[in-house]
Amino acid sequence: MPRVKRLEVSGPLNLALTLTSGQVFHAVREGARWHVLVGREPLELEQRGSELWLHRGRPRIARHFLSLDHDLEKLYEAFPGDRYSREALAACHGLRIVRQPPWECLATFLASPLKKVEHIRQISFSMRARYGQPVAGSPVQAFPDPERLAELDEASLRACGLGFRAKNVLEAARRVASGAMDWEALRRLPTSRLRETLMELPGVGRKVANCVMLFAFERLDVVPVDTWVARIVERLRGRAGRPLTLERSALRRFGRWAGYVQQYLFHHARTTGKLPEP
């Protein structure tokens, strides 16, 4: 049994919020501890106040995954000042945008259209249990490789609860397995070209591409506009706008932190059901 290590945290951190805010969908809580996988690397984490303890796993991977280097104080200086946004900021203080492995991020967000976060979580667990591999020391199995999913048929994927999304997951897995996505090369692309490339995959529209870029490619200025975010912005500015317009105005206002602002508003709205006063 590995010895517990303390991870240095310089700024605000809320581990539980970070793991339950609709970025990863497989984190499991056991008492005060959280289990999460980064690929096939198991992490067992515990937060006590401002202290973060690593009971299992490699410190470097934990720090990178949890983005402990993000300067949240800078984000909070740039955060919007209206009543609703301040409320979201207070509720989500310490929430961090993670750095997730691209394939499992892409695959789980391929499962996301017209699904609630809880359902995406169910699908993720089902895919892991059926087609993933066990990881020593983790209650959760690894997310299946594209090579594994590529050899399945659509019915086997539908058995995970994917519905009409199974076809997209299967086709995406086959393309990725055949080498269509060179993740390390993609990391060097500018955001617009990265988005175009992701959107070549079936089932990847602008929203899913933006989620993958925000949660797996460190594009913190990218704003996924879903039903919640669209409703929030509609209330805040008094009129509806098209997703692309909302994205661009958020980017103009909040710059490199736009994706973070979006995530705080999204999570607060989704978990409380509250929207700004019209």
- Which is nearer to DNA, 21 or 47 (by Cβ)? 21
Selected from 15, 19, 20, 22, the binder of DNA by CB under 7 A is 22
Q: Minimum CB separation from DNA for residue 114, in Å? A: 4
Selected from 115, 130, 148, 175, the binder of DNA by CB under 7 A is 115
- Which is nearer to DNA, 7 or 251 (by Cβ)? 251
Q: Minimum CB separation from DNA for residue 221, in Å? A: 14
Q: Minimum CB separation from DNA for residue 233, in Å? A: 11
- Binding to DNA (CB under 7 A) within 234-273 occurs at 242, 262-263, 266, 270
- Which is nearer to DNA, 45 or 204 (by Cβ)? 204
Q: Minimum CB separation from DNA for residue 35, in Å? A: 20
- Which is nearer to DNA, 89 or 209 (by Cβ)? 209
Selected from 44, 104, 221, 226, the binder of DNA by CB under 7 A is 226
Selected from 13, 15, 19, 21, the binder of DNA by CB under 7 A is 21
> b or e along 205-225 (b: 16 or more beta carbons within 10 Å of the residue's beta carbon)?
eebbbbbbbbbbbbbbbbbbb
65 binds DNA (CB under 7 A): no
The secondary structure of the chain, three-state, reads: CCCCEEECCCCCCCHHHHHHCCCCCCCEEECCEEEEEECCEEEEEEEECCEEEEEECCHHHHHHHCCCCCCHHHHHHHCCCCHHHHHHHHHHCCCCCCCCCHHHHHHHHHCCCCCCHHHHHHHHHHHHHHHCCCCCCCCCCCCCCHHHHHCCCHHHHHCCCCHHHHHHHHHHHHHHHCCCCCHHHHHCCCHHHHHHHHCCCCCCCHHHHHHHHHHHCCCCCCCCCCHHHHHHHHHHHCCCCCHHHHHHHHHHHHHHHHHHHHHHHHHHHHHHCCCCCC
What does residue 15 show for φ and ψ, rounded to 5 degrees?
-60, -50
The binding track of 196-225 with respect to DNA, each residue x by CB under 7 A or -, is ---x--xxxxxxxx-x------------x-
- Which is nearer to DNA, 59 or 80 (by Cβ)? 80
Instruction: Write the CA distances from 11 to 40, 68, 94, 157, 188, integer angstroms.
Output: 28, 8, 8, 41, 28
Selected from 11, 94, 101, 113, the binder of DNA by CB under 7 A is 113
The binding track of 149-188 with respect to DNA, each residue x by CB under 7 A or -, is ---------x--xxxx------------------------
- Which is nearer to DNA, 6 or 116 (by Cβ)? 116
Report the interhelical angle of 83-92 vs 227-237 (nearest 10°). 140
- Which is nearer to DNA, 116 or 256 (by Cβ)? 116
Q: How many residues bind DNA (CB under 7 A)?
A: 38
Chain residues binding DNA by CB under 7 A are: 21-23, 112-120, 122, 158, 161-164, 199, 202-209, 211, 224, 226-229, 242, 262-263, 266, 270
